[in-house]
A = this chain, B = another copy of it.
Amino acid sequence: MEHKITPRAENYGQWYQDIVREAELAENSGVRGCMVIRPHGYGIWEKMQAELDARFKATGHVNAYFPLFIPLSYLAKEEKHAAGFAKECAVVTHHRLKTVDGEVVVDPDSKLEEPLVVRPTSETIIWNTYRGWIQSYRDLPLLINQWANVVRWEMRTRLFLRTAEFLWQEGHTAHASEAEALEETYKMLEVYADFARNVMAVPVVRGKKTPGERFAGAVETLTIEAMMQDGKALQSGTSHYLGQSFSKAADVKFLDRNGKLDFAYATSWGVSTRLMGALIMTHSDDAGLICPPKLAPIHVVIVPIYRDDNEKKVVMDEADRVFAALKSQGLAVKLDDRDNMKPPAKFFEWECKGVPLRIEIGPKDVQNGSLCLVRRFVANEEQLPEADRRKAKKSFVPRDQALESIKPLLFETMQSELYARAEKRLWARSKAIDSVADFEAYFKGDGGFAWVHWAGTGEDEEKLSEKYETSIRCIPLEEDMPTAFRGAGTCPFTGKPSTQRVVMAKAY
């Protein structure tokens, strides 16, 4: 059972795939590049949605829904945007099928006058709609979010990380001034960073993208960058200030406070099911998924242990009581009463699925009035010898004390330990690099986040990416830079002076 997951050290890519499969999170479908999100994976995504949605609403946003299809002409309107997105996408060209000689085929007579693109992102269709909603500064700001599926025809796909169809949310806001729009852009970056850190327990570096890495059509792209266990970066959320390019392309004008016509100022921001990949690759181990308690679809699994019907009766009575007590606390509890499976097999299964806490109940525990709590992880386990790990995760606690302690154990202790562990890893694999030789050596070795002074052009950046397969992940906000990394210096690639270090890394 344990051996279905390839160890990280052996093959990191395979380890990821194995976890996605064995924890029943997602799988490939019969449709090229499109995934099926399985119930256990979708359960985590639902919790992410609920947490994000509450944060969007708390910051004044409302949800709406816009069409799946975008007329080709809309997409073509904003030039840079079209260049970035009007490439690999699914195009609807016909609207009818027919049966010919018993075979179902596309009816050539049903060709659309204008092809429709399945949305790769919705700026163009949404701004085309906003034209009817915005006349005066009184209609602004317009703070709207959409939960939707989008399609980008990716050639090389990987479950959650890069799929042709994925689920996401896209915020699209309209403002009366650049200052307000920029404030919104930073506000949503903060919402994403807060969610990543405090809910996903994923440490992130906030920053700006370089012009070459910006969203197609954006004036400024902000990002949160997380580090996976192999030292690679994963862009986990972006917030864009779009200026007036989309309002101009869609002709969205408003009367300002002074009675003058101006084009509205736009932002957009999004996170996607890609976050599932970030979650898996940040926390999990060779036994399977590790899920932060705040996102776990099941918080606690109870496994009853007995040898005969007498023991079963005693144990199941206690298991039912514990189940009810935890459920009444609002916890998601699973009582695994399957008869056709031995306890160790159950342990492996729930460990693999990332349930944060297991309660084993045997006749002796009932007799002692205690519960055997087994944590999915402990803070320092990676430093412990293999033999001591199991012991460190297990504790016997008097029943009533255990029932009181589980909520804080999950949502305070374990949640913050998980973050601390990931944060430690991030900084352990972050390095200030000041010469090309060191840079090359760093990425020939294990690599990680290289904090490098940069003063190159877009062209320099492209060449660098090609040569080393790294990219500038972001120009970090000062608050997210360790003190030692702050300040001006010299770009090792160009020899030119630089005002601050950027983060370079290989990336997903």
Q: Identify the A interface with B (CB < 8 A).
A: 27, 29-31, 34-39, 42-43, 45-46, 62-72, 74-76, 82-83, 86-99, 103-106, 110, 115-118, 125, 128-129, 132, 138, 144, 148-149, 151, 153, 165, 167, 340
Contact = CB atoms under 8 A, between A and B. Distances in A.
B37 A65 contact: yes
Nearest to A26: B65
A118 to B, nearest CB: 7
Contact of A68 (B42, B46, B149): B149
B69 A132 contact: no
Contact of A64 (B42, B86, B87, B104): B42
Among A30, A65, A70: residue with most chain B CB under 10 A: A65
A64 B37 contact: yes
Given A34-B68, A46-B63, A75-B104, 5 more contacts: A39-B63, A67-B165, A76-B104, A87-B96, A91-B95
B125 A29 contact: yes
**Copies of this chain:** 2
Contacts of A43: 62-63
B72 A104 contact: yes
B106 A97 contact: no
B91 A94 contact: yes
A488 B334 CA distance: 50
A97 B39 CA distance: 35
A16 to B, nearest CB: 20
B97 A66 contact: no
A-B pairs, 3 with minimum CB distance: A34-B67, A39-B62, A37-B65
A505 to B, nearest CB: 30
Contacts of A167: 65
A128 B93 CA distance: 26
Contacts of A71: 30-31
Contact of A95 (B42, B75, B88, B103): B88
A153 B91 contact: no
Given A106-B93, A117-B97, A31 B67 contact: yes
A86 B46 CA distance: 32
Contacts of A128: 29-30
A118 B92 contact: yes
A284 to B, nearest CB: 21
Contacts of A340: 138
Nearest to A63: B42
A95 B104 contact: no
Given A34-B69, A69-B90, A125-B29, A153 B62 contact: no
Contacts of A74: 30
A58 to B, nearest CB: 13
Contacts of A82: 99, 104
A95 B118 CA distance: 10
A74 B104 CA distance: 10
Contacts of A36: 64-67, 129
Contact of A153 (B86, B87, B95, B106): B95
A340 B138 CA distance: 9
A128 B28 CA distance: 12
